[in-house]
Amino acid sequence: MSKIVCLTFLLAIILTVISPTAAAGLEERWRNHQNNNCCPVAICEFEKGDPFIHKRNTNPFDGFIQFTETFNNQLFVSGFLDAENFQKDTTAGKQGLDVHVADCNLKNIDGVLDLDDVDDIFDRPFVGVIPNKKVRQLVGQCCIVADDKQNDQIIAVAKVKQAIRCGRNKKILIKDL
């Protein structure tokens, strides 16, 4: 899946989910150059066939998980995982799968963030909101999908990369993904 298609798809999700009044407030904050407000963004990008170091596995699906830090101390999680042979209209947890953000050493996938309860995580665009998390806690970690029925057999891994950095060195890093 090309990065341009993924980013266009993400923009469509954000515009659909955010109400017009909330979007107007967000736009006002982005335009306010005196406050230098910014929403940091990070992304995991899965590509079918990409190898990862864990029992010589390769990712079985394409897609991405994006993390956007909001102004309300919440993490907006969205994405699309195009996976074969997974159930639609349900959570990963109900399918016996774990979807986590954790340390890339893969020794313990319980870590920074648990996405098992996000609805429609496979084969549909999904969104979720996680309170009290920051993008900086995720960058450098890994998005991990594991089969809980097989003692957390890891089936997919993608590294969390910074897409938009805020602060003094504000930068859009999309080209680096």
CATH topology of domain 39-166: Immunoglobulin-like (2.60.40)
Q: Taking 80 as the threshold, does the pLDDT of residue 127 lie above it?
A: yes
Contact 158, 143 (CB under 8 A): yes
Q: pLDDT (tens digit, 9 = 90+) per residue, 133-161?
A: 999 999 999 998 888 777 778 889 999 99
- Read off the pLDDT band of 34 (50, 70, 90): very low
Instruction: Give the whole-number percent of the chain exceeding pLDDT 70.
Output: 71
Q: 């995720």: which residue's tokens? A: 138
Query: How far apart, in whole angstroms, are the C-alpha atoms of residue 70 and residue 134?
Result: 9
Q: 């954790």: which residue's tokens? A: 102
**The pLDDT value given to residue 35:** 47
Q: Taking 80 as the threshold, does the pLDDT of residue 168 lie above it?
A: no
Q: Taking 90 as the threshold, does the pLDDT of residue 64 lie above it?
A: yes
**The pLDDT value given to residue 13:** 63
Q: Taking 60 as the threshold, does the pLDDT of residue 78 lie above it?
A: yes
Query: How far apart, in whole angstroms, are the C-alpha atoms of residue 115 and residue 40?
Result: 19
- In three-state secondary structure terms, 46 is strand
Contact 72, 98 (CB under 8 A): no
- Name the pairing type of β-strands 57-58 and 74-82: unpaired
Q: pLDDT (tens digit, 9 = 90+) per residue, 97-112?
A: 889 999 988 888 887 8
Whole-number average pLDDT of the chain: 78
